[in-house]
């Protein structure tokens, strides 16, 4: 026979006296304990405040009928829950799409940044090269000017200008 107890004794052991002997009853987490039929009847009769026959309890439990209004209310709630779940799924999909777009844009931005850095480096190198080339030609021109001056000075010293009438 299965016996049951009040909720506070679920999952615990209770000592009871049956025919002058102490018996330990172990109730499982659902409040059910298996005992011999003869002992079970005596225990239920002796402790009716907190030990009951499981079969009697099961027989007394009846299905509770909800009024039509409550059934309609519950049905409407269920429809709203279903609708909101579909909205949640839709929003999750939108978030996923937005995340993918964000990642693609971040990748493109990184590529553009690397291009910009590369162009800046190339531009800096080209400027340096142009500056060096400019400096080279300036030095060449100054060398040329100094050579012309040196030649004129040699000519003056040698008297070449006076003889040929060249300035």
Question: pLDDT (tens digit, 0 to 9) for every residue of the chain, 167 residues total?
Answer: 888 888 888 888 888 888 888 888 998 988 889 988 888 888 888 888 878 777 776 666 555 566 777 888 888 999 999 999 999 999 999 999 999 999 999 999 999 999 999 999 999 999 999 999 998 888 788 777 777 777 777 677 766 655 555 55
4 backbone φψ class: left, alpha, beta (φ>0; ψ -120 to 50): beta
Question: Across the strands, what pairs with 51?
Answer: 5
Q: Tokens 């050579």 sit at which residue?
A: 147
Predicted TM-score of the model (pTM): 0.36
Query: How much of the chain is in helix, strand and coil states, percent to nearest 5?
Result: 70, 15, 15
* Separation between Cα atoms, residue 131 and residue 153, nearest integer Å: 32
């Amino acid at each position: 026979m299965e016996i049951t107890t009040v909720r506070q004794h679920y999952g615990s052991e209770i000592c009871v006296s049956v025919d002058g002997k102490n018996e330990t009853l172990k109730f499982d987490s659902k409040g059910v304990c298996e005992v011999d039929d003869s002992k079970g009847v005596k225990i239920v009769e002796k402790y009716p405040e907190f030990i009951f026959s499981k079969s009697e309890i099961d027989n007394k439990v009846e299905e509770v009928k909800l009024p039509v209004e409550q059934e309609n209310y519950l049905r409407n709630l269920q429809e709203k829950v279903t609708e909101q779940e579909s909205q949640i799924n839709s929003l999750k999909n939108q978030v996923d799409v937005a995340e993918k777009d964000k990642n693609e844009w971040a990748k493109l931005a990184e590529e553009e940044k690397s291009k910009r850095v590369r162009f800046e480096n190339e531009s800096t190198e080209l400027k340096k090269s142009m500056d060096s080339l400019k400096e080279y030609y300036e030095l060449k021109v100054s060398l040329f000017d100094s050579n012309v001056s040196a030649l004129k000075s040699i000519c003056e010293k040698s008297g070449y200008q006076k003889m040929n009438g060249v300035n």
